């Protein structure tokens, strides 16, 4: 490790590290190379490239797609993903649409789950014993959703195959990708999709769907590839809530941004695995707001170089292994002891996250009691939205971890999803005082 750090310091000093970074580019399949060269000049949700993919899900047909989306700054992007639909004729009124937002996979162009050789499978997790890949991929409860007759859209998010720099944990950007995936599903006639839709997501994807659920004006836009989507529900599994904890930290520290930044960072810096996620969040924020933020506001010069190289070339679990191998317990040497420009960073966390208004549909939220996502992240959301008059049901799954809770939650959320599409009455899930 000492030799590696000495080499990095010498390379940075000599300027050779930048050229080394530029030479290493991960390979992506031809579909994504072509997609990344398409200009996003059309309508939101417009499918600009599509190819059929095989799947073993009973009764399903599937496609890889590239479609037009937009980021938190309203700049249009090309996002990629999957569409899965039941075979056969659609019922009158069309099939309901379910939009899946995946958890953290990384920030490199080869980290989109749809790039897997056999991508349309049940959720397949790296850390579980039945995981069979170097990344998480697949779609949670896909067999059950297809059996119920739903169309399933699964975004990769911008920057994970369609070009551009991934804005990791900028909830507004990932949320718009999830919304536009619904529009893409409706625009592809073979799916037989109708107007009713529901969002569900895990981890980073939980942040995505909470952000999307509160994006009333974006959902209501006209002139898209599929106008008039009716959102009936949001299911958030172990959701990250960076904007919520940033708002809470600002309030609890009387607006002192330096203290607030420390309060946000401390719970996510206890070990190198969690710190890798935090560093990824900062990297993604800078990608979304390059005119306001610099990586060296938060990282050391060495840290900025290292994380830039890792983020552009490795998906998250492999990136995490590289950090552990090269830095071990010394990972905090990659960040400044005292960050600078903290007001701009915290403003970005808040503006890029969950809108501070009542969601357009009821929310069902899960977290495992042994989850890596700190409980305050979900508690803050529940308290905030319930105070505004929203309908939030928050369930803690006893003994579940971040990686076991999505599957354990299925027995509860699948009937809930069916009831939302059936327009059944729903009691308010907020705590009653």
Q: In this structure, what CATH number is given to the domain that contains residue 147? A: 3.40.50.1820
In a domain, 11, yes or no: no
How does DSSP assign 73-137, residue by residue? T--EEEEEEEEEEESSPPPTT-EEEEEEE----BSSGGG-GGGSSS-SSB-B-TTSTT--SSS-B
Q: What is the pLDDT of residues 329-356, one digit of tens each?
A: 999 999 999 999 999 999 999 999 999 9
Mean pLDDT throughout 150-156?
A: 98
Mean pLDDT throughout 278-306?
A: 98
Helix axes 301-313, 16-23, angle to 10 degrees: 10
The last residue of a domain, from among 327, 350, 373 = 350
Do 171 and 259 lie in one domain? The reply is no
Do 90 and 117 lie in one domain? The reply is yes
In a domain, 378, yes or no: yes
What pLDDT is recorded for position 2? 42
Do 213 and 358 lie in one domain? The reply is yes
Do 273 and 216 lie in one domain? The reply is no
pLDDT band at 15 (very low <50, low <70, confident <90, very high): very low
In a domain, 330, yes or no: yes
* Total number of domains in the chain: 2
- Select from 114, 227, 224, 236 the least CA-distant residue to 175: 236
- Select from 67, 408, 381, 409 the least CA-distant residue to 207: 381
Q: What pairs with residue 82 in β-bridges?
A: 64, 154
Do 116 and 99 lie in one domain? The reply is yes
Domain holding 169, by residue range, is 30-241+354-421
What pLDDT is recorded for position 18? 38
In a domain, 24, yes or no: no
Do 261 and 303 lie in one domain? The reply is yes
Q: CA 396, CA 375: separation in Å to the nearest integer?
A: 9
- Select from 200, 62, 162 the least CA-distant residue to 119: 62
pLDDT band at 432 (very low <50, low <70, confident <90, very high): confident
- Select from 281, 291, 297 the least CA-distant residue to 242: 281
The last residue of a domain, from among 350, 372, 387 = 350
Percent of the chain with pLDDT over 90: 94
In a domain, 433, yes or no: no
In a domain, 12, yes or no: no
What pLDDT is recorded for position 9? 43
- Select from 297, 348, 346 the least CA-distant residue to 73: 348
Do 122 and 207 lie in one domain? The reply is yes
Do 184 and 324 lie in one domain? The reply is no
pLDDT over 70 (residue 20): no
CA distance to 182, 188, 204, 339, 370, per residue, from 373 (Å): 27, 36, 10, 23, 9
pLDDT over 80 (residue 256): yes
What pLDDT is recorded for position 25? 75
Contact (Cβ atoms closer than 8 angstroms) between residue 214 and residue 360:
yes
The last residue of a domain, from among 287, 320, 350 = 350
Do 194 and 98 lie in one domain? The reply is yes
Provide the 8-state DSSP code for 433.
-
In a domain, 329, yes or no: yes
* Full-model pTM: 0.94
In a domain, 429, yes or no: no
Do 199 and 340 lie in one domain? The reply is no
Do 262 and 158 lie in one domain? The reply is no
Do 70 and 209 lie in one domain? The reply is yes
Mean residue pLDDT of the chain comes to 94
- The alpha carbon dihedral of 279, 281, 287, 289 has a sign of negative
CA distance to 144, 282, 284, per residue, from 173 (Å): 28, 15, 10
What pLDDT is recorded for position 24? 58
């Amino acid at each position: 490790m000492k030799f590696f750090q000495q080499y990095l310091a010498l390379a940075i000093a000599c300027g050779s590290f930048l050229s080394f970074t530029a030479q290493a580019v991960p390979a992506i399949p031809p579909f994504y190379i072509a997609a990344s060269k398409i200009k996003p000049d059309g309508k939101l949700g417009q499918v600009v490239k599509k190819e059929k993919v095989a799947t073993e899900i009973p009764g399903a047909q599937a496609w890889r797609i590239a479609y037009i989306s937009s980021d938190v700054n309203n700049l249009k992007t090309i996002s990629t993903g999957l569409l899965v639909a039941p075979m056969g004729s659609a019922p009158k009124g069309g099939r309901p649409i379910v939009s899946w937002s995946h958890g953290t996979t990384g920030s490199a162009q080869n980290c989109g789950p749809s790039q897997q050789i056999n991508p349309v499978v049940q959720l397949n997790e790296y850390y579980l014993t039945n995981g069979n890949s170097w990344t998480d991929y697949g779609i949670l409860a896909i067999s059950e959703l297809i059996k119920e007759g739903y169309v399933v859209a699964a975004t990769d998010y911008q920057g994970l195959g369609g070009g551009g720099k991934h804005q990791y944990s900028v909830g507004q950007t990932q949320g718009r990708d999830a919304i536009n995936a619904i529009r893409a599903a409706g625009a592809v006639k073979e799916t037989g999709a109708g107007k009713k839709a529901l969002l569900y997501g895990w981890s980073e994807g939980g942040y995505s769907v909470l952000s999307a659920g509160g994006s009333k004006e974006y959902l209501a836009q006209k002139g898209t590839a599929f106008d008039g989507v009716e959102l009936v529900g949001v299911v958030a599994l172990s959701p990250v809530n960076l904007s919520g904890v940033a708002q809470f930290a600002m309030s609890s520290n009387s607006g002192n941004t330096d203290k607030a930044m420390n309060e946000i960072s401390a719970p996510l810096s206890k070990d190198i695995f969690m710190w890798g996620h935090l560093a990824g969040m900062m990297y993604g924020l800078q990608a979304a707001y390059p005119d306001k933020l610099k990586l060296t506001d938060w990282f050391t010069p060495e840290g900025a170089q290292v994380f830039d190289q890792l983020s552009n070339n490795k998906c998250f679990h492999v990136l995490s292994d590289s950090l552990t191998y090269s830095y071990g317990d010394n990972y905090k040497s990659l960040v400044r002891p005292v960050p600078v420009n903290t007001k701009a960073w915290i403003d970005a966390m808040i503006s890029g996250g969950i809108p501070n208004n009542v969601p357009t549909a009821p929310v069902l939220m899960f977290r495992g009691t042994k989850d890596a996502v700190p409980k305050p992240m979900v508690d803050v959301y529940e308290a905030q939205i319930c105070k505004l008059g929203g309908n939030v049901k928050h369930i803690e799954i006893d003994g579940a971890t971040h990686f076991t809770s999505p599957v354990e939650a299925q027995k509860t959320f699948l009937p809930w999803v069916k009831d939302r599409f059936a327009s059944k009455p729903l009691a308010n899930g907020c705590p009653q005082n």
